[in-house]
Amino acid sequence: MTARRHLPDSGEAELDMTPMLDIVFIMLIFFIVTTSFVKESGVSVSSPQADSATPQQSANIFIAITAGGEVWIDRRPVDQRSVRAIVARLHADNPEGSVIIQADEEASTRMLVEVMDQVRLAGVEGIAIAAQRGVQ
């Protein structure tokens, strides 16, 4: 006769963590991919109101011009002369996207035109100026 050994039942069930880890990694990849497409300006401005303002869907580069004349791209202030090089680099990452310029209502028109000129020289065709929808 052979003796059978019975191991004591510990009462703990074994849990397979593989599916949960798969989901976590998929979510991580999703958030990394989606955040790399949108380049925010990094500063909030008070946009002027316009009755004809419409939402822009495909913008991926935001440029902000403050009331004091500062230009912000990708959450940092930049010199207005370097706008062309920065926009060209960001536009190369996503050539289908467009640029939205968020100019403060107190910003000078000269600064807005200079930034728009630099964006066009960078090869971007789709440029929009942000405005708040007015009350009708």
53 occurs within a structural domain: yes
Q: Which residues of the chain have pLDDT under 70?
A: 1-11, 35-59, 133-136
29 occurs within a structural domain: no
pTM, two decimal places: 0.60
2 occurs within a structural domain: no
The whole-number pLDDT of residue 101 equals 87
Q: Enumerate residues 6+ apart whose C-beta is below 8 A from 100.
A: 56, 59, 61, 62, 63, 127, 128, 129, 130
32 occurs within a structural domain: no
Number of domains observed in the structure of the chain: 1
The CATH number linked to 99 is 3.30.420.270
Provide the residue range defining the domain that includes 60.
39-133
The string of pLDDT tens digits covering residues 9-45 is: 666 777 788 888 999 999 998 888 776 555 566 666 6
19 occurs within a structural domain: no
112 occurs within a structural domain: yes
- Beta carbons of 126 and 98 less than 8 angstroms apart: yes
